[in-house]
Chains A and B, each alone.
Chain A
């Protein structure tokens, strides 16, 4: 196992509130399913950085910032997160009021991530205003063709499906940030990742908390497992 993944597990995954009712389920999901996806994704990121790093030119920094912007652009973040906010219907509001609060805040958080990528592009002089990114295809595409559509559909499945997305892909984001911070010296790139580190980890923690506290019955665990099936296939090619 990669030492970055080991560190992440020991610090942020295994520690669990004693008596958390969904913890055994989360541990099982982690061991049986997430670990493999996290390992594949982390190795892919490390390989990419090690391949790009020796070139030490500005082009890959620009490409990375554009890719970050396209993954977390305002248009995508607002639409995806606000649609998922709707997954809690009125009958479920009393039970999931804190889940709604977390999700509502995440709308803003996700938009802020994209702003941080835009700051890098503006700071380097590659664009003069964020508006220019709206016309740049590289700032608006990503390699997960169905990600937007299917994750928009999560609210039609169950309010807790999003917990899988926060727990699994957000862990991948955290691991990617750790990999960049360990391997890259460039202050601009480090800023880009450091500025998002604690917030990505918070979103991961939201998923961890929601699974630990709410996913306590087959009925509340199934939507998380189903969402994980989709996400792990998309992110790591696991069927």
Chain B
């Protein structure tokens, strides 16, 4: 299964992903003790691609990356939020 990681060159540490992940009670996004108390994603707890919520509220372009493909997931590509057959808003 593909996994996500934070790209610290782009992340602004706003912690929206942290709030979102906790709101959904997944708790995969955490603040790492080392080296700089930065946001990280625990791949064992993260349910991506089942859940893509953090991608939808992240404001910093390029800051969450799919590890296996290396592609940026912010802003989220259409297949990350349309794939479950959700109706398009427009």
Contacts and interface: CB of A to CB of B under 8 A. Distances in A.
A133 to B, nearest CB: 27
B16 A14 contact: no
Interface stretch (A77-85, A137-145, A179-187, A204-212): A204-212
A10 B55 CA distance: 14
Interface string A1-33: 000000001111111111110000001001100
Interface in B34-90: 51-53, 55-61, 75-76, 80-81, 84, 86, 88-90
By DSSP majority rule, is chain A's interface helix, strand, loop, or mixed?
Answer: helix
Contacts of B58: 205
B59 A201 contact: yes
Contacts of A17: 20, 51-53, 56-57, 81
Nearest to A201: B59
Contact of A209 (B16, B51, B80, B81): B16
Nearest to B88: A14
A106 to B, nearest CB: 11
A52 interface: no
Per DSSP, chain B at the interface is loop
A116 to B, nearest CB: 14
For chain A, the bracket of interface size reads 20 to 34
Contacts of B53: 17, 20
Given A16-B86, A98-B19, A205 B52 contact: no
A101 interface: yes
A204 B64 CA distance: 18
B14 interface: yes
Contacts of A213: 23
Interface in A72-120: 98, 101-102
Given A16-B81, A17-B81, 7 more contacts: A17-B51, A18-B81, A20-B56, A199-B14, A202-B12, A205-B16, A205-B58
Interface of A: 9-20, 27, 30-31, 98, 101-102, 198-199, 201-202, 204-206, 208-209, 213
Interface of B: 12, 14, 16, 19-20, 22-23, 51-53, 55-61, 75-76, 80-81, 84, 86, 88-90
